[in-house]
Structure 1
Amino acid sequence: MACPVSQSAVELNPAVLPLDWLLGIWESDEPGEGSFPSISPFRYIETLHFSHVGQPVINFMFNAFHAESRKPLHRECGFIRIQPGTNNVAFIIAQNSGLVEIEEGELIGQQLTLHSRALARTSFAKEPYVQQISRLIQLRPDGRLEQTVSMALENQPLTQHLHVTYRRAS
């Protein structure tokens, strides 16, 4: 899965200037924690790439690996948009699991709070199906980026699934 992530020499589009704090490469500074009632807890490492090519979007790619075995796990790529004249933000995401989603929410300062608005999946996706996702991404005062992801399945209410912090690698 390759989404356009190469940093461009073009200027950042003014429409996404409020998201400039995300740009660059981020690596988990310690393994993140993953859990959910239907799976065994796990630890993972992750690299985030946020870039632009001058369009009014931020491109992103997230790559997660098992902390001990380094086996590839979850991958996401997509785009971040801001509704002009507002602090409304949308993530358009494709996942390697066959899930495609649109998350919408707000940008307040250097914090993004998002909730799934639309989910679609391949016809042969693994059950039980994801029904809802929420995500909180924030730049902490210590300069680290923090992400918490919660999800709900058909048989499980919205529950925290992932939590990780990152340090800027570039």
Structure 2
Amino acid sequence: MAGKDAPLHNAAKPLEWLIGKWKGQGKGIYPTIQDFDFLEELEFFHVGQPMLQFSFYSVNKETNKPLHREIGFIRIKPGTNQIACISSHNNGVSEMAEGTVAGQIVSLESHTIGRMTFGKDPKTVKLKRTFTLDGDTLHQVVYMETDTVPLTEHLRTTYKKV
């Protein structure tokens, strides 16, 4: 069975700059909650297919209490800069997003948000995110829209590769 040591699929090479483990810290803001600081570990890896797998694990910076968890895949359409992202969040949200990779910038916008029937309100209806590599620093910005708040910046995280 192919594992993390498999050769990178040619189609995934435009995403190669994301591969690795990253640690960082971020700030969460949103009109309906109190601002918070968090620490996050992020890993992108591949198993030889035309996609990357990823995982996010964040904790409260002050209490070390687990916060957000997210696991998913970013697939690239071979021969293009078009990408699709499928992810599951520990808060009961499943996201399907599409976008582009252009150099060292990934831009994604959800087109489908699934939600467990007993999920906490307000209901998430849209997510947008960007990853940008600037030197050796990876930046992620996440925007969220709920059924009560229009699309607004929610998370801003800065990572260093470890």
Match of 1:155 among 133, 148, 162: 148
Give the aligned residue type for 1:16. Answer: A
Distance 2:104 2:139 in 1: 11
Unaligned runs of at least 5 residues, structure 1: 1-6
What CA deviation, in whole Å up to 9, does each residue of 1:28-80 have, x standing for no partner?
A: 0xx31101000000000000011111111101000010001010000000101
Distance 2:43 2:7 in 1: 18
In the alignment of these two chains, the number of paired residues is: 160
Consecutive aligned runs of 4 or more in structure 1 exceeding 2 Å deviation:
none
The residue number in structure 2 matching 1:75 is: 69
Distance 1:72 1:125 in 2: 18
- CA RMSD between the two structures: 0.9
Give the aligned residue type for 2:5. Answer: A
The residue number in structure 1 matching 2:55 is: 61
**1:10-29 correspondence to structure 2 within 5 Å:** 10-28=6-24
User: How far 1:143 sits from its partner (Å)?
Assistant: 1.1
* TM-score, normalised via structure 2 length: 0.96
Secondary structure at 2:150 match in 1: strand
Unaligned runs of at least 5 residues, structure 2: none
Secondary structure at 1:15 match in 2: helix
The residue number in structure 1 matching 2:161 is: 168
Secondary structure at 2:29 match in 1: strand
